[in-house]
Each structure stands twice: as C-alpha cells, then as structure tokens.
Amino acid sequence: MPQIHSTAILEGDIALADDVVVGPHCVLEGDITIGSGTRLIGNVFLTGKLAIGERNVVYPFSCIGFAAQDVNFPHDKYEPGIVIGDDNTFREGSTVHRATQDAPTTIGNNNMFMTTSHVGHDCQVANNVTIVTYSGLGGHVHVQERVIIGGGTIVHQFVSIGTGAMLGAGLFVTQDIP
C-alpha cells in the first residue's frame, strides 16, 4: 500500500503503485498515475493528466503538470498531458508544463532536472539528459539522448538539441544544435 503522509491532498483519479511514497504537504489533483518506487519527498504539486513511471524522485517545490504558459491555451484543458519515464530526478523547484498539441509533453528515462529547471509545454526530452540549475526549455523543444544543458541556459521554443550535445553555462540558444 502506498505511503501517504497525513498532510498530503489527493483529489481526482489517482493511481499509485503499492510502494509509492507521498511526503508531507504534497498535492496531487487530476488524472495521475505514478509507478513503483517513485518518491515525492514533500511540498510537491502534481496536476493535470500525468503519467509518471518507476523510481522517480521529486524534490520539494517542484510543480509538474500545470497548464502551458501560453495565453492561447485554455488552462482547464488537461489533455494530452505529460508522460514521464523511469529513474528521473526532479530537484527543488523544477517545473514541467503539460502539452497544448496532440502529443503529451514527454520525458524519457534517467534524466536529472536540477534546481529551478523548466521544461515548457510540448517538449520532448529523451534519455540520460541533464538540465542544470536555472536552465529552461521553451515550448516545443526536442532534446535528444545524452545532452547536458549548462546552468542558466535558455533554449528558445521550437529548437532541437542533438544527441550528445553539451551546452555551456549561460547560453541563449535560438537555433538547432546538431
């Protein structure tokens, strides 16, 4: 049976694997599925249509599943949501926004999202990606496998980052990176 702290709030169609840990002051609201071994440490807010795989760790003040920061998108539209794979770490204050188009915002496996990193709506993040502190992906960004995005780097919307790319700290990326 999942371990749910007495101060947590769960509202909606919530499906938790038997060994999920939901820490103090977490809020889960909407259509949410969380896989085995995933831990929400505390003060985490999950919403929308959201599927999270196995063995993920979400640190305090992370917000996953909120509506896109897009004035043309209705904030009460939850589809198509977000799909997150396995073995990801979302450090303090990281954010991921749900999609506005036909496919969900997608995050693969074995990724590290350091403090205050942001993944915008409709992004596709592959596997083994590290997004360092204060970095952000605008909407519709595609990040391939084994990419490192240095601290304070901003990636403009509709940009693609190729496999194995390493972006230095403090960049503003406006074009595709092979």
Q: Which residues are catalytic?
A: 121-122, 139
Q: Which of 105, 104, 101 is nearest to 120 (CA)?
A: 105
Q: Could you tell me the two tokens for 158?
A: 């509709």
Q: What is the DSSP letter of 133?
A: T
Instruction: Count the neighbouring beta carbons within 10 Å of the beta carbon of residue 106.
Output: 20
Q: Could you tell me the two tokens for 102?
A: 């036909």
Residue with tokens 């790319």: 165
By the 8 A CB rule, do 85 and 108 touch? Answer: yes
Contacts of 66 (CB under 8 A, 6+ apart): 45, 47, 48, 95, 97, 98
78 HSE (CA, 13 A, CB side): 14
Which DSSP helix (H) or strand (E) runs through 10?
A: strand 9-16
